[in-house]
Structure 1
Amino acid sequence: MAVAAYASSVSLTHVLDNVHYRAKFCHFNVDVKRIESIQEGIKSLLEFVELNHKRKGQKIEDLWRKISKINLEVEEFFDLYVVSQLQKVSKGKRSDRRMRAFDKDLDTMIKKIDYIKKELLMVEVVVEEIMEGKQSKASVPSVHSSKAASSIAKKNIVGLDEHVVNIKGELARYDDNLQIIPIVGMAGIGKTTLAKVVYDDKYVVERFDMRIWLTISQEYSVNEILLGLINDGIVERHSGYFDGPGEVLHKKLYGRRYLIVMDDIWTLQAWYDLRRFFPDNVNGSRIIITTRLSHVAASLSSHDPYSMTFLDKNTSWNLFCKVVFGEETCSHPELEKIGRAIVRNCRGLPLQITVIGGLLAKSSFEKDFWKSVAENVSSFGNSSDGDHCLNILLLSYDNLPIHLKPCFLYMRNFREDAEIDVTHLIRLWVDEGFIKINGDKILEELGEEYLKDLVNRNLIFVREHTSCKEEMLTCGIHDLLRDLCISISKKENYLCSPRVQVVKAEYRRCFQCGSFIRADERIDDSVFVFPSTSHGNPPFCGSCRRTYSHIKDLRLVKVVHNKVSGCDSLVQHTKLRSVCILMFEPPKFISPSTLILLWNLQSLLFTESRVVILPPEIWMLPQLRVIECKCVVFPKPPVVHGEETKLFMLKNLQSLTVAKNFVLTELILDGIPNLKQLEIEYEKHMGRLDTSLCNVARLQKLEVLHVADTLQNIGFPSSLKELVLKRCAIPWSCMSIVGSLPNLETLYLWLTAKGSEWDPTEGEFLRLKVLAIWGSDLAQWRADQHHYPALEILILFSLRSLEEIPSGIGDIPALREIHLRNCSKSAMDSAYRILEEQQSVGNDFLKINVYGDSKDEDTDEDDEPQVEDETDE
């Protein structure tokens, strides 16, 4: 319940910020001081949850429920009020000035929050007393001596042979100094099993004078760990040592070659607390540390941590057979096909293979039972025989800071084995209200930090990187961890109101997720009540009906005309944060527009529509962060003066793609001051008109700029990191303007650069990593390693006149790839010469990829060169 309390509190802070912003500029007749009082109250509740979220007990669980309840109540209260006021505005009426009843309700909300705050103070006193009692009874860690570790039953070690050889090599490596060897990977991946196999290896036993195995719990006592190490695993609370236990351990290890395994470390502090007691005897002593946390492993050693990965298909099958049949082959051929399906669904996780294999080993080997297991791998893996499987994973979840838990649990919403776009995932976290405001950082940056933290904790894995390996493109979650998310969400009753909606035009599509509703499913649902509309109850699929059965009230508004299905199914609810409309026909907004009733909207996506004409009311959505479409016509802001201009400012807008015929007046640019990504294109008749592209330089936070089909001069802000120019007709002699951008890392030029000669100037393009040129008359290119010192990838496409790639390009230290397609034969020959020259001096990292020939392959002018990104799984 703590997660629900935290998530609802963070989400509510965003809603209250929106109300406060509107009230501050007299958009509503609300007492700003009362709003600020509620904000302070919710902030206090949030701080309490952050400090006490790990506490257990009935009283504090009741508090979590009360906090969640008051958060939902406050959000509903403001949604009802704001929507009613905006309805008046949209109909041309003045907002309601009779505010006594509303102020009275506000005071009631403040009193309810204050009452809960008083309860928090009482609980804090109880918590302090409990913590004092806990400190007097330090927890006893799990400590095993060499004898104890050896007595543990041997595990199945299929697939570990190569790992064992590598770790033994580290133990025997010629370096007498004390070395730390971190082994890192997700729960259940086999870290502890590998460490135990190495620990008990005959060579290791003979090599080291002393071996000590120690398992660190999340809550540990340094003194008791030390006493256990001294006394061969036996903790003597009253040992009577004159010196401290640390000094005694140091003396015991001094002068001896020792191996210590510290299993399952959760924090660097655990290592810092113990490391000073391990002497460096300069005799080849070693310490192996296992951890689930990549950042902990990386900080423990000067060498790269040893990473454990998922088992491949063959190794997974061999392990399964070993567990089930006692040998690495299937002794029941009639079960092999089913068995392989079971293994495939375990996704290479040794723990799950072992748990399910153990269950099947105890079965009667009946085909029907094995089929049922294959169809329900997850549930069998979490059955009573496999409870320890989820319990091991649960430790990783329990160790998460509270701000990461809602984001992790959200992973349950993706299908099994999904390849999840990283930008989309972070956007969803932001839209759901999971990201807490922190200083000047934008929410997307914080979301990226959250994702990296979950990856470092091995709870989410990276599927695909950019070719430069610097950014994640797609990610995934193991099915067993996804099952954990589902299990915890149900247990903690963590189900938010629906914030994200996918709208599809066809009839019998679910109002919430956009999926087809089966013919046998009812499309009416009496759970929902929509007091402010006459649209009737929208269709819900069975899954969404079950998920959101706790929702009693949603105010619906019809925003877009739906001529396709002939029904009013394209409706949204007023608490919506993100809407993705999938319609091939251009959607038309209701006139007068009711878009402003979606007053907390953050993402507006039209992924299929060719052209979308946005209504002027778009400027009245200050929370809006993303507008995405294949082609969107953006309206001019209303002409207002003074403080009222801030009411018509998209102060949070981060991304606008793709804007059609966008005239960048000062008024528009002042309304989107924090834009980070802008994609704009112009029709032919607009190409020669003054579209004020020189004003783009005013967007001082812009990092990504794509411009297509213009002959106007473009102003480039110094903040740019990525620049894409299509059919913009810029002579090579003017490219120095682009080269002088201090932060530019990626430059794509499509049918843009004009002229036959390019003479770049030294000191330009200092941070450029990717350069792509497509379709140019370039013949002579004079450059060397000093002109693009950071270049990693060079893409040349349809340069039929290019005589050669400058040989000095090959001497750029960072250069890894050169791609050519449909270029002149002399250019291709020069690429191979560069490769030969680099190989002759020992450069084996450079790769050359050549596609097609200008003489025998035609090129579609709309084609763009595609460079496959490297994939890590």
Structure 2
Amino acid sequence: MAVAAYASLVSLTHVLDNIHYRAQLRRLHVDIKQIESLQEAVNFLLEFLEKNHRSQSQKAEDLWKQISEVNFEIEEIFDLHVVSQLRKDSQGESSDMGARSFGEDLDTMIQKVDRIKRELSMVEEVVVGSRASVPAAGSSTAASSVGKNIIVGLEEHVTKIKGELARDNGNLQIIPIVGMGGIGKTTLAKKVYEDKYAVDRFDVRIWITISQEYSVNEILQGLINNGKVERHCGNSDGPGEMLRKKLYGRRYLIVMDDIWTLQAWDDLRRFFPDNGNGSRIIVTTRLSQVAGSLGSHDPYPMTFLDTNTSWSLFCQTVFGEENCSHPELEQIGRVIVKNCRGLPLQIAVIGGLLAKSCMTTEYWESVAENVSSFGNSSDGEHCLNILLLSYNNLPIYLKPCFLYMRSFREDAEIDVSYLIRVWVDQGFITIKEDKSLEELAKEYVNDLLDRNLLFVRDREFGTEEILSCGIHDLLRDLCISESKKENFLCTPREQEISPQSEERVCFLCSVSVTETRNFLALDVIPPSASHCSPPVCGHCKMTYSHMKGLRFVKVMDKDGVAHDSLVQHTKLRYVYVSMHNPPKFISPSTLHLLWNLQSMKFKKSEVVVLPSEIWELPQLRVIECNYVVFPKPPNAHVEEKDFFILKNLQLLGCAKNLEFTCEILDGIPNLKELWIKYDKHMRESDSCLNNLSQLQKLEVLSVKNTLQNIGYPNSLKRLALRKCRIPWSGMSMVGSLPNLEILVLWDTAEGSEWNPTEGEFLRLRLLAIAGSDLEHWGADQDHYPVLENLVLSNLPSLEEIPSGVGDIATLHKIILRNCSKSAVDSACLILEEQRSVGNDILEIDVSDNSDYEFEDEDEDED
């Protein structure tokens, strides 16, 4: 219960911070001294748990449970009283009586917390007591392994599978790879799939992962869209026929990763045409029976690593090199490796644990003792115990984040930016003065990657920044089992609002609901005269069975009609609206009653008009949709102006036709990411883009469809300009930005000649130019001294790429799409010259298709 208690305490610190901020600015009637007393007590409990969370005593477990229950009760009291006060204030009613009741309830809570503090002094601080526990690891001395794809012992397997791809048999062949979870099936398939031979040989390559609970249509959509599930509207063909047409007559390689049943294969096989040209399908599975029934090829078995290969993988994981760099640890290290039984996942996870250790003999011996204790277990139990050992030794601040991974579906590709956002929204990240919550959450992601508890799925071209990650099925199972033990995730904080239909969906998780009875006694705050309680699914009934009730609000349209499809509860922190045309917010609205809201996302929606009450949500960190009309701050008295500041807002996108007055920018001072779009009516108007230089923490800026002068803050790291019509001479202002790393110019730069000046673009790593009349480019290695990737698209007039560009020592890749023949010839000449001087790093990628995507390609009306 320690993790649940810790997570609830961290969440409570954010709630208390919100309460304290509102009270200081007199937007909430509460005794600040009471709040500060609670803050002090909560910080004490956090520090105690950080030091003693490994205690094994029953007394400690009972107290952890009490902490969780009291924290939940405190958050419930806050929600009750804060919402009540906000509602009365908006209606012009007095909240004096409520304030007195609020104070009395807080006194009761403070007494309960103090009682727990007194009992904690009786808890034995047992950190090392049971046989299955290991002392906490110290700081790592090994190099970070984030992003390192450590492939050891697969060379022979790769060669054999490549041989099967190249066989003379032209018929469609199915190649099953079989082995237990964690043995390296997916890693092998990925290595073959990405091999240059496969890339050159096959016209179409598609990777798709099959989960235990699969949908045939979703798999087919994924195969059509090269692994991404997207819906195709307006096509009379079903997805199966669309796939058949896509593959017909072409040599294709498809990897179907992690098939669990023969039925999954039977449901799909008829859609793969046998073109008689050497097409291949690689299937990975844990089940020998499934592998043996696929027909055309004997299953390829994955076996355990031998002793030498296991040791090599272990050293690469722990030390970042092939051998043990700490001779005093080699003997005990070999004992640890032996007891991992040659299973790559176990070696990688234990290696990740030890890479984070202080590299002492005592610590390694304690790990070896525990690994050895699992020696007589079955393979499944042995593997689980190994993984549990690594989980148990996580710092407690990482455990809630790791356990949250259970909420993603099996085999999911998890967007890292979303993962960071949802950890922040859930309240898992501890507040620190020197770093933002997002920065800390990013460090947590990297830490879990370092420990091999997560793995990298995709990286951003040009920066190698991690875009998406995944979690192995066995580790996800561990998250599920440990979450149940911990009673983790006990308060609903996210909500997805889906399109209205005849089918009823769960109010809390948006899955289909077959029964209409509710388990929650919902305390309705009525924005309209009529209301009904929303439905809740059976899973949520069990998950949140301890809850007595929720308060909820409804969004009303311009006619004053409350929409049941847009019900939101007042404890909500993240709302995701996937309706195409949601009702527009109006003022006065009930939005401010969602007083802890942190993220709002509207997917594929039309214009979202936000009410002025948005300025009453100081916790808000993200507003994201296709177009959002952002209101001006309300007129306020001098003493109230400080409250109407979205001090935590990090991302705003995409703002449509917004006039960036100093007044608005003063209200979003800490914004880090901004996307702006203008329509044809606003393109030439003065919307104050020159004022953007006022945003001194802005790191990412995307501007589309404007002819205005833009003020660039020096903090910018990424800049994307589309249809902004800036002469090449105006690029000097961009080049002078001291922190700029990525620049994308799409139908923006005008003129036939660009002569950059030395001393500009000193940190630029990626330069992408698309759609320009550029003919002469006077550049060399001094103009972009650290450039790593150059992308040129739709430049039909460009005479050549300056030869001096090839002399940039850091340059890795030049991509040309639909450029002039002379530009392509110059790129090839650059490559030849660099090869002649021993530069084997530079690559040239040329194509006549304009298939390189810089950003979302939705078209504006010009």
Q: Same fold (TM over 0.5)?
A: yes
- Cα distance in 2, alignment partners of residues 391 and 188 from structure 1: 16
Deviation at 1:532, TM superposition (A): 3.5
Deviation at 1:528, TM superposition (A): 4.1
Which stretch shows the higher mean deviation, 504-513 or 451-460?
504-513
Which stretch shows the higher mean deviation, 463-472 or 396-405?
463-472
Residue identity opposite 2:480 in structure 1: I
Q: Which runs of 5+ in 2 are unaligned?
A: 136-151, 159-180, 186-302, 319-326, 338-346, 360-370, 857-862
Which one of the candidate residues 729, 736, 747 is aligned to 2:732?
A: 736
Secondary structure of the residue that 1:568 maps to in structure 2?
strand
Deviation at 1:510, TM superposition (A): 2.7
Residue identity opposite 2:56 in structure 1: K
Which one of the candidate residues 707, 721, 730 is aligned to 1:711?
A: 707
1:66-110 CA-partner distances (Å, limit 9, x unpaired): 100110011000100000011122324454466333222221111
Q: Is the 8 A contact 1:678 1:705 kept in 2?
A: yes
Residue 496 in 1 paired to residue 554 in 2?
no
- Cα distance in 2, alignment partners of residues 479 and 98 from structure 1: 50
The equivalent of 1:20 in structure 2 is 20
Which one of the candidate residues 420, 427, 435 is aligned to 2:421?
A: 427
Q: Is the 8 A contact 1:741 1:765 kept in 2?
A: yes
Q: Is the 8 A contact 1:517 1:523 kept in 2?
A: no
Q: Aligned ranges for residues 52-201 of structure 1 at < 5 Å? A: 52-96=52-96, 99-123=99-123, 126-127=124-125, 160=153, 194=305, 196=307
1:189–1:43: structure 2 CA closer, same or farther, 3 Å change rule? farther
Residue 800 in 1 paired to residue 858 in 2?
no
- Cα distance in 2, alignment partners of residues 140 and 766 from structure 1: 48
Q: Which runs of 5+ in 1 are unaligned?
A: 142-158, 166-185, 202-212, 217-249, 267-288, 302-350, 359-382, 854-858, 868-873
- Cα distance in 1, alignment partners of residues 580 and 504 from structure 2: 15
The equivalent of 2:523 in structure 1 is 530
1:747-787 CA-partner distances (Å, limit 9, x unpaired): 01111111111110111101101111111121110001111
Secondary structure of the residue that 1:260 maps to in structure 2?
helix
1:298–1:55: structure 2 CA closer, same or farther, 3 Å change rule? closer
Q: Is the 8 A contact 2:496 2:578 kept in 1?
A: yes
Which stretch shows the higher mean deviation, 607-616 or 468-477?
468-477
TM-score where L is the length of structure 1: 0.71
Q: Is the 8 A contact 2:356 2:451 kept in 1?
A: no
Which one of the candidate residues 562, 565, 568 is aligned to 1:569?
A: 565
Q: Aligned ranges for residues 184-583 of structure 1 at < 5 Å? A: 194=305, 196=307, 260-263=331-334, 292-294=350-352, 297=355, 386-468=380-462, 470-507=464-501, 508-512=503-507, 515-517=510-512, 521-533=514-526, 535-559=531-555, 561=557, 568-583=564-579
Q: Is the 8 A contact 1:427 1:444 kept in 2?
A: yes
- Cα distance in 2, alignment partners of residues 832 and 300 from structure 1: 49
1:590–1:557: structure 2 CA closer, same or farther, 3 Å change rule? farther
- Cα distance in 2, alignment partners of residues 710 and 78 from structure 1: 45
- Cα distance in 1, alignment partners of residues 567 and 394 from structure 2: 38
Deviation at 1:189, TM superposition (A): 7.2
Residue identity opposite 2:331 in structure 1: I
Secondary structure of the residue that 1:122 maps to in structure 2?
coil
Q: Is the 8 A contact 1:264 1:290 kept in 2?
A: no
Q: Which ranges of 4 or more aligned residues in structure 1 deviate by more than 6 Å?
A: 137-141, 186-190, 198-201, 298-301
Q: Is the 8 A contact 1:517 1:540 kept in 2?
A: no
Residue 592 in 1 paired to residue 594 in 2?
no
1:109–1:297: structure 2 CA closer, same or farther, 3 Å change rule? closer
TM-score where L is the length of structure 2: 0.72
- Cα distance in 1, alignment partners of residues 311 and 626 from structure 2: 61
- Cα distance in 2, alignment partners of residues 681 and 460 from structure 1: 36
1:615-669 CA-partner distances (Å, limit 9, x unpaired): 0000000000000000100000012243311211100000000000111111111
Deviation at 1:838, TM superposition (A): 1.6
Deviation at 1:815, TM superposition (A): 1.1
- Cα distance in 2, alignment partners of residues 200 and 20 from structure 1: 54
Task: Compute the RMSD of aligned alpha carbons.
Answer: 3.7
- Cα distance in 2, alignment partners of residues 49 and 467 from structure 1: 41
Deviation at 1:590, TM superposition (A): 5.3
- Cα distance in 1, alignment partners of residues 446 and 558 from structure 2: 41
1:513–1:475: structure 2 CA closer, same or farther, 3 Å change rule? farther
Q: Is the 8 A contact 1:763 1:787 kept in 2?
A: yes
- Cα distance in 2, alignment partners of residues 418 and 783 from structure 1: 44
1:390–1:655: structure 2 CA closer, same or farther, 3 Å change rule? same
1:13-64 CA-partner distances (Å, limit 9, x unpaired): 1011001000001111211111111111111111111111000121111100
- Cα distance in 2, alignment partners of residues 194 and 116 from structure 1: 51
Secondary structure of the residue that 1:559 maps to in structure 2?
strand
Deviation at 1:548, TM superposition (A): 2.3
Residue identity opposite 2:518 in structure 1: D
- Cα distance in 1, alignment partners of residues 789 and 353 from structure 2: 29
Which stretch shows the higher mean deviation, 609-618 or 523-532?
523-532
- Cα distance in 2, alignment partners of residues 89 and 34 from structure 1: 22
Q: Is the 8 A contact 1:505 1:570 kept in 2?
A: no
Residue identity opposite 1:260 in structure 2: Q
- Cα distance in 2, alignment partners of residues 743 and 810 from structure 1: 23
Which stretch shows the higher mean deviation, 85-94 or 554-563?
554-563
- Cα distance in 2, alignment partners of residues 293 and 619 from structure 1: 48
1:411–1:830: structure 2 CA closer, same or farther, 3 Å change rule? same
The equivalent of 1:601 in structure 2 is 597
- Cα distance in 1, alignment partners of residues 311 and 684 from structure 2: 77
Q: Is the 8 A contact 2:693 2:713 kept in 1?
A: yes
Q: Is the 8 A contact 1:503 1:511 kept in 2?
A: no
The equivalent of 1:36 in structure 2 is 36
- Cα distance in 2, alignment partners of residues 14 and 94 from structure 1: 27
1:298–1:766: structure 2 CA closer, same or farther, 3 Å change rule? farther
Residue 829 in 1 paired to residue 825 in 2?
yes
Percent of aligned pairs with the same amino acid: 59
- Cα distance in 1, alignment partners of residues 460 and 134 from structure 2: 46
The equivalent of 1:768 in structure 2 is 764
The equivalent of 2:682 in structure 1 is 686
- Cα distance in 2, alignment partners of residues 551 and 658 from structure 1: 37
Residue identity opposite 2:454 in structure 1: I
Aligned residue pairs, count: 665
- Cα distance in 2, alignment partners of residues 602 and 667 from structure 1: 22
Residue identity opposite 2:523 in structure 1: F
Secondary structure of the residue that 1:106 maps to in structure 2?
helix
The equivalent of 2:243 in structure 1 is none
- Cα distance in 1, alignment partners of residues 184 and 723 from structure 2: 51
Secondary structure of the residue that 1:820 maps to in structure 2?
strand
- Cα distance in 2, alignment partners of residues 24 and 139 from structure 1: 45
Deviation at 1:537, TM superposition (A): 2.2
Q: Is the 8 A contact 1:708 1:728 kept in 2?
A: yes
- Cα distance in 1, alignment partners of residues 379 and 132 from structure 2: 31
Which one of the candidate residues 792, 800, 810 is aligned to 1:814?
A: 810
The equivalent of 1:367 in structure 2 is none
Residue identity opposite 1:517 in structure 2: S
Secondary structure of the residue that 1:484 maps to in structure 2?
helix
1:444-495 CA-partner distances (Å, limit 9, x unpaired): 1000000111111111111111224531100000111111111011112113
The equivalent of 1:223 in structure 2 is none
- Cα distance in 1, alignment partners of residues 798 and 424 from structure 2: 47
The equivalent of 2:195 in structure 1 is none
Q: Is the 8 A contact 2:2 2:53 kept in 1?
A: yes
Residue identity opposite 1:600 in structure 2: N
